[in-house]
Chains A and B, each alone.
Chain A
Amino acid sequence: MRINKKSVTAIAAAVGISVASSLATAANTIKIGTFLAVTGPASFLGDPELKTLQMYIDSINADGGIDGRKVELFHYDTGGKAKEAVKFAKRLIKKDRVDVIVGGSTSGSTMSVIPLAEKNHIPFISLAGSVKIIDPVKKWVFKTPHTDRMAAAKIFEDMKKRGISKVALISGNGGFGKSGRGQSLALAPNYGISVVADESYGKKDTDMTTQLTKIRNSNAEAILNFGFGSGPAIVTKNIRQLGIKLPLYQSHGVASKKYIELAGSAAEGVRLPAAALLVASSLSNSDPQKQVLLDYKNRFEAKHGSVSTFGGHAYDGLLMALQAIDRANSTDKKKVRAEIEKTANFIGTGGVFNMSPSNHLGLGLDAFKMLEIKNGNWTIVK
């Protein structure tokens, strides 16, 4: 092969240009940071969240990015530990210098990062449940999942409709279960409901018949279980084993097909509040969410298997952040924060969001649907 001088310079120039342009895009990328519980006890939250972020960022980049700018994801696994979350949030802020953080699978890890976001003035959209994240409102902190307070309210509303006034509470002793328990105890009196039993279990416990035997001997008219992971499925099976006929309510912590699969026939008749994502196809065509939900569900399931509402929270957070950046026409943190706060009529998987300076979640109680499990599938309680 003969190489002449001309072609060499041409190649050099081409390489030079491509290097320069890649540098230019690197400097110009929109940097999204995230820290999630991809492994550990809360991995069923963090895993679909990360997959969702990666999937959508890839497809946005394939479509040319936002205003011609590529989106780059920086992600770290916290294993569900608050201390790791703080460390990685610092890494995102100091080393990776991200423009916005969308992450924090668990309330504990979110709460521990809030002081950092506030101090460093970085917009932070949390994917965790606790109401404490946005109440009181923190300037730089937003969240997309429904709160545990909303879940408790939705459940008590339904109980009241059925004429239930005495409820037995059983909760996991992790952050989610404890926080849900607290909200339930606080809200119950507003609905004229009294809590007649208050039991808990460890997240790796293998059998809850002891706690449920105590509940059976109380005068409860329904059982409410706040928890996630294997706990709620074991509780469900144990209830049937003990022959307890009371209605069982679960929280949105079990809103994935996995729960039905694990609890099997024992899950029949269980009610829970959850986002419409689980029942997307049975929504009426006029429902504004239907298109978004089906689109997300189909894309996720085509690649990763059964959809859960948890990945949906990440979708909501990511798109909300990117749309805010798009509207702001910059990644200036102050402007982006202001735009996130102005989010109006954003149709996400969790509901239709309307943020405001006094509401950094922007979802109403109607964003929750009350579901019942029938024939191994979700149905909407009318």
Chain B
Amino acid sequence: MFDQILQFLITGLTTGAIYALVALGFTIIYNASDVVNFAQGEFVMMGAMSTVFLAAGDNGLPTPLAATLSVVLVICVGIFLQRFAIAPARGASVVTTIIITIGASIFLRGLALVVWGKDIHGMTPFSGETPIHIGQATLLPQNIWVMGGTAVMVLAVHYFFHYTMQGKAILACSYNRDAASLMGINVGLMMMVAYGLSALLGAMAGILVAPISFTSYDAGVMLGLKGFSAAILGGMGNPMGAVVGGLLLGLIESLSAGLISSGYKDAIGFIILLLVLFIRPSGLMGKRSSDRV
């Protein structure tokens, strides 16, 4: 029984780590611009798909180079999204921006469909496929890559926002845009940095997980949805909340699939999320909102 639970935990943490990265992407954009970016899942898909295609064939690039180029490409997509879809609609209502990002996600999916086709693609694992045994439980080197990669990126994001000028400037924009602007912060530039960073996290998540779960042009939809759920579970706007929310959601799904019912595991995840919101309307670690009159 213990081995079984251990296996569930390993699976849950791996999936959860990916949710956490996607959720963190949501949080950064939300903090910078008050927008919930429903195209976050598409960043994940594009990171994986473009790596697959850059590394494909006999003349393909080596995977690390392909991955780096893909991340740069996705960052550009993120900046484009901010510049040409979000910035022009400044001052639009929350639902309007939601529809814009949904439109963007449909557009990017359609673009991927046209450019890369409809096939499902695999990616070679970074360090082989020999399972590592812990008692009866096993994990793949790629699981360690996913969990380790997520940990490194979470720490890097933390460092960026708390110890660099740029990071602090983005935080300043999120607290008070006008004041930040008066302090000489280039708000427009900071917005682009935030979107680029968020795209980077998404692309990295996609590249890390593709060797385990494969990828296709429509792989971003579910991950985007789960990432959003994780961000809400942890409390929208709190980066650590997003990470906790992601890991927790992954664990809940895995444990309920293992111990209750695999058919209803997603439903159980959402029921728990709803219950959390009923008790804590701002998520686990979110700030209690006070209404402005």
Contact = CB atoms under 8 A, between A and B. Distances in A.
A39 B18 contact: no
Contacts, number: 83
A323 interface: no
A6 interface: no
A204 B219 contact: yes
17 contacts: A44-B119, A202-B222, A202-B265, A204-B219, A204-B221, A206-B18, A210-B12, A210-B254, A211-B262, A213-B258, A214-B258, A230-B214, A234-B213, A241-B140, A243-B133, A243-B138, A258-B119
A214 B218 CA distance: 29
A134 B263 CA distance: 28
B258 A210 contact: yes
A237 to B, nearest CB: 8
Given A199-B262, A258-B120, A210 B222 contact: no
Contacts of A206: 15, 18, 209, 212-213
A47 B118 contact: yes
A217 interface: yes
Interface of B: 4, 7-8, 10-12, 14-15, 18, 113, 118-122, 129, 131, 133, 138, 140, 209, 212-214, 216, 218-219, 221-223, 254, 257-258, 262-263, 265-266
B55 to A, nearest CB: 15
Contact of A210 (B7, B129, B133, B216): B7
Interface in A20-46: 39-41, 43-44
Interface of A: 39-41, 43-44, 47, 173, 199-202, 204-207, 209-211, 213-214, 217, 229-230, 233-234, 241-243, 258, 261-262, 264
Contacts of A207: 11, 14-15, 212-213
B262 A210 contact: yes
Given A173-B263, A202-B266, A241 B213 contact: no
A242 B118 contact: no
B213 A230 contact: yes
Contacts of B113: 39
Which one of B213, B218, B221, B265 has the greatest number of beta carbons of chain A within 10 Å?
B213
Given A201-B262, A211-B262, A262-B122, 19 more contacts: A39-B118, A44-B118, A202-B266, A204-B219, A204-B221, A206-B209, A207-B14, A207-B212, A207-B213, A210-B7, A211-B257, A213-B4, A213-B258, A214-B258, A214-B262, A233-B120, A241-B129, A243-B133, A258-B120
